Amino acid sequence: MEREFIQWLRTQTPTDASVPLSIGDDAAILQLASGSRCVISTDLLTDGVDFLFDEVTPERIGRKALAVNLSDMAAMGATPFAALVSLVVPHHFGVETMKDLYRGIFELAQSFQLPIVGGDTNSWDGALAISITILGQNSTRGPWLRSGAKPDDLIVVTGQLGGSILSKHFDFTPRVKEALLINEDFEVHAATDISDGLSRDLSNVLSESSCGAVLDLDLIPISDDAKRLSVINADAKNISPIDHALDDGEDFELILAMPFDEAERLVKNPPCECPITVIGRFVSEKGLWVKGPDGIRQPRPPRGFEHQI
Amino acid sequence: MEREFIQWLRTQTPTDASVPLSIGDDAAILQLASGSRCVISTDLLTDGVDFLFDEVTPERIGRKALAVNLSDMAAMGATPFAALVSLVVPHHFGVETMKDLYRGIFELAQSFQLPIVGGDTNSWDGALAISITILGQNSTRGPWLRSGAKPDDLIVVTGQLGGSILSKHFDFTPRVKEALLINEDFEVHAATDISDGLSRDLSNVLSESSCGAVLDLDLIPISDDAKRLSVINADAKNISPIDHALDDGEDFELILAMPFDEAERLVKNPPCECPITVIGRFVSEKGLWVKGPDGIRQPRPPRGFEHQI
């Protein structure tokens, strides 16, 4: 449903000279009259969907609200430049709770030298919702899009995948620094971040790039939390660690499409400390497949998170 | 309460070379690495506070959500360049209702050649909330701030004031075109828009400009709706038309601080069709006064809308 609605929105908002990239990527690209470009995106987090206010501190909620936006900048290979915070809080919130929310935002912002330049604060009968808009500047190589992957490019991911619900979805550090270091020295054809799950976010790259991909299950870096979650939920859900890695949302790691040689060079000489792993290859035939130890390809439709609207 | 909280936020977000103007005006100003500047602001509207979903069409709600943001650009004398829409809707919303909301946004956006370049759409157990962020480009004269009013400047307003609750708060056309025409040909020392009421928004200019003002009650352009509202509510509230004009929120007209000669020239040769009226004068002594037909000054503290958080 979200997918169709976004398609409808895209038909209503065509790109033009001043908006080279509009709705449908991790951020939009704007061409200012001065000749410079910037990237801009927005994410809205709500109580009961992205966090449970009663189960987590206001600081962590504020931090997450900014972190998911920073992750969009990382997915574009762009330098975060400024952010604005809109929020609506329940009437019964005290000012101290509000300040705690903002403290979580400010602390993460400062670690990325990101100024919070504006916002709007309201109260109402409802629950907490936070919308952050973030503006970034292009690197000299230009922003990464979802649409540039080519057959035979390798699929590269940062970090380890799956099980983020156990804590990473609040505590992850968005891959901004890693993205900028990679963008500085390596050729990247396409990129996105994992917000709705590797299989779903990779599928977005595939549809924007009009190609397919084969994931090598043996290569996918499965996080310890994916393994733990598989055990914790064994009775109820019986989801394997690899399926957690393929489908869990909110890893906020990067998926990169890179030419073979560049991907090899990146893995051998990573400019950053986080794990960087080749997990498969883009192919010309449309679709998403996985390949197990037996070498046989099997179709693997995305199962990640999709907003119901 | 909102005022103190914003003061706290301002202490947390100092201005610097890349952010010449941060929280506390109608928009922030950003200095991009390319040398160009842009202005940016955000406004969040919620069901039960800014509109009653059950009493108004989704189109009008969407339109208002964008209009208040456009008004911020007008208040800066800036050209709206792009907007992003974040919203969270109740689960039971159908896609058609969502599209109707967006249709209200798109229709107004198109009339200002404003592209909607991104957004985030979510659903939840709660009520409708819409946050729009708008980006603008400076005119060659630069943006108008709240902080530039000088003693002996005249106070100029567009349009007619008061009673917007009867319909104008949904149906107003933000004064973007008027602002750009005035900015092109006239010297303006300071500006803001009337969102919380003339007395309160003018007081914001006074505190940012470290001066006072005397309003001439005979000159204030009272709208027909202010007069109607005074009659409609006569039994319950007994608020005079002039007090509606002074204190009612959401007129979304402009308040300008202009040098005497420039204000006179503007009134004589208005570049736009809307009423433009001199309503008083800035003075060096801090405070807000009104002057009636008897010529006697009386202190007049702001009584406009203040968010309770």
pLDDT in tens, A250-284: 999 999 999 999 999 999 999 999 999 999 999 99
Q: Is A228 on the interface with B (CB under 8 A)?
A: no
Query: Cα-Cα-Cα-Cα dihedral of A186, A188, A193, A198, to 10°?
Result: -110
Minimal Cα–Cα distance from A153 to chain B, Å?
Answer: 28
Higher pLDDT, A135 or A24: A135
**CA-based nearest residue to A37, from B301, B124, B27, B36:** B36
Cβ within 8 Å of A, B 124-153 = 124-127, 129, 131, 133, 135, 137
Cβ within 8 Å of B, A 23-82 = 23, 27-28, 30, 32-36, 38, 40-44, 46-49, 81-82
| Count of beta carbons in the 10 Å neighbourhood of residue B86 | 26
Task: Provide the H-helix boundaries in chain A.
Answer: 2-12, 58-76, 95-111, 168-171, 176-185, 198-209, 224-232, 241-247, 260-268
Minimal Cα–Cα distance from B147 to chain A, Å?
Answer: 17
Q: Is A90 on the interface with B (CB under 8 A)?
A: no
The pLDDT of A163-173, averaged and rounded, is 94
Contact B133 A95 (CB under 8 A): no
Cβ-proximal residues to B268 (8 Å cutoff; 6+ apart), any chain: none
Dihedral over Cα of B119, B123, B125, B128: its sign: positive
Q: Give the separation between CA B89 and CA A15, rounded to whole angstroms.
A: 26
Output the pLDDT for position B306: 57
Contact A18 B93 (CB under 8 A): no
Please state the ipTM of this predicted complex: 0.89
Chain A residue with the nearest C-alpha to that of B1: A95
pLDDT at A309 over 70: no
Residue among A34, A41, A89 whose CB faces B35 most closely: A34
| Count of beta carbons in the 10 Å neighbourhood of residue A272 | 15
Q: How far is CA A252 from CA A40, A240, B40, B203, B256, in A?
A: 18, 20, 27, 45, 46
**Residues of chain B with C-beta less than 8 angstroms from the C-beta of A117:** 13, 19, 22-23, 28, 30, 40
Contact A19 B99 (CB under 8 A): no
pLDDT tens column, B235-282: 777 899 999 999 999 999 999 999 999 999 999 999 999 999 999 999
Percent of chain A scoring above 70 in pLDDT:
97
The pLDDT of B118-143, averaged and rounded, is 90
Contact B46 A126 (CB under 8 A): yes
pLDDT tens column, A208-265: 999 999 999 999 999 999 999 999 887 777 899 999 999 999 999 999 999 999 999 9
Q: Is B100 on the interface with A (CB under 8 A)?
A: no
Residue among A13, A42, A98 whose CB faces B5 most closely: A98
